Structure 1
């Protein structure tokens, strides 16, 4: 069995709102945190550049986020993009497919992410794997569901003879609650970082700045984020 440290965590960091909030969550709980990203030919590849900005901003420990940010890993999954005929990997209009799922769904994407993250965590001695998936405010992707993650945890532990723990801090939080969590974790500075520097827009548009961040303002990802920001700002003051 691999020697996994209970103090070490690996965060799947895409450069988006959810994974950035999860990185802060991990830094608040684990003393050593590493990150991993995936290049699968995504249409919104700009998110990979956002990862670096986020990491630089969170590189120095703070009283609220005392964990040390360690190595970053970027894994190329070109085969996944080549296999996929979706609006996330092709220049096609975003729409609903006949199976009831949006055509932004990349079959097997999050499953592959978890497998590769598990292999990396095994090598790096990270017991904890943190993902920003959610089935509260989401696009209907079946690989974001709680049951999927629990099943993958069992499969990884059986297949690698390990005792990984997969954490999904946002699983039961909507986007408004995710903004609130960022503020609770890192105050105004982290909230500003999430708004200004993370990327969500499926079209990769960073030419238009809105109150909730950059994006086209029309794709499903932008609409979810905009609605969440509006509800977050409408809530009574916290604290």
Structure 2
């Protein structure tokens, strides 16, 4: 049986890694992005460029890219991702980049599209390890939503979250395992994560302002990934590093 998947592909690091993960497992993979008035809408514009860099065997499995407009999310939310306001922590301990209901809405619309397209597997980059405390990124939320979607649509969708228990360094490592250093370089150069939407300078870890929480998290993960890679290439000898 042909296994088909739909990947929530924003154009950022996590979703690009999830796309590679899906292409390594499923026979046919389509992608879906959401335009909800986000400040960093430039991420959506990176998707085509990244998709074109994928190797030929993955290209053969790659289906259409879809974009859905969800302007209502911007209208009903007052967050630093949908308004030109300073990024800060709220009194309840959540960052003001949290868009209430976003992932629940995304996965619901993704399931509706998957229903129409005959796609059983839905893949998202939600993560409970390196995250900002967003409640809709938690594993319990995704599991509960899978039950609700299957009951409400009389289907047997499977919601996959391959990054759920990985930190950012491990996400970089997963990308390397899936597609080698070329995939890592393509993610660095052709995806976008910065909350402020600044393409700007190309840092070792990618484009961005370098100061927002998304950039800081990506940079820290990259540094740890490089440290781990160096340790693997230069294991200790007699209690000393090989290059000491």
Q: Secondary structure at the match of 1:126?
A: coil
Unpaired runs of at least 5, structure 2: 234-244
Contact 1:43 1:203 in 2 (8 A): yes
Q: Is the 8 A contact 1:45 1:204 kept in 2?
A: yes
2:184 pairs with 1:191: yes
- Residues 171, 218 of structure 1: CA spacing in aligned structure 2 closer, same or farther, 3 A cutoff? same
Q: Contact 2:7–2:31 (CA<8 Å) still a contact in 1?
A: yes
Question: 8 Å contact 1:31–1:67 — kept in the other structure?
Answer: no
How far the C-alpha of 1:188 sits from its partner, in A, is 1.2
Aligned residue number for residue 24 of structure 1: 20
Alignment of 1:138 onto 2:134:
no
Q: Which runs of 4+ in 1 moved over 2 A?
A: none
How does the TM-score come out when normalised to structure 2? 0.92
TM-score by length of 1: 0.94
Give the corresponding residue for 1:213.
206
Q: Which aligned pairs between 1:117-132 and structure 2 lie closer than 5 A?
A: 117-132=110-125
CA distance in 1, matches of 2:219, 2:44: 21
Gap change, CA 1:66 and 1:42, over 3 Å in 2: closer
Q: Give unmatched runs, 5+ long, in structure 1.
A: none
- CA deviations on 1:81-135 (whole Å, 9 max, x unpaired) are 1111000000000001111100000001110000000000000111100000101
- 2 CA distance for matches of 1:229 and 1:71? 30
| RMSD across aligned positions (CA) | 1.2
SS of residue paired to 1:177: helix
User: Cα distance, 1:78 vs. partner?
Assistant: 0.5
Structure of higher CA gyration radius? 2
Cα distance, 1:67 vs. partner? 5.9
Question: What's the CA shift string for 1:7-47, capped at 9, x where partnerless?
Answer: 10000000000000000000000010000000000000100
Alpha-carbon distance in structure 1 between the residues aligned to 2:215 and 2:39: 15
Q: Does structure 2 conserve the Cα–Cα contact (< 8 Å) formed by 1:31 and 1:66? A: no
Q: Is 1:40 aligned with 2:52?
A: no
Aligned length: 231
Per the alignment, residue 3 of structure 2 pairs with 7
2:232 equivalent to 1:232: no
Counterpart contact for 2:202–2:208, Cα < 8 Å: yes
The reply to whether residue 179 of structure 1 matches residue 172 of structure 2 is yes
* Cα 1:50/1:101, change in 2 over 3 Å: same
Local SS of the residue matching 2:66: strand
Task: Classify 1:187/1:83 alpha carbon distance in 2 versus 1 (closer, same or farther; 3 Å).
Answer: same
Instruction: State the alpha-carbon separation in 1 of the partners of residues 207 and 61 from structure 2.
Output: 29
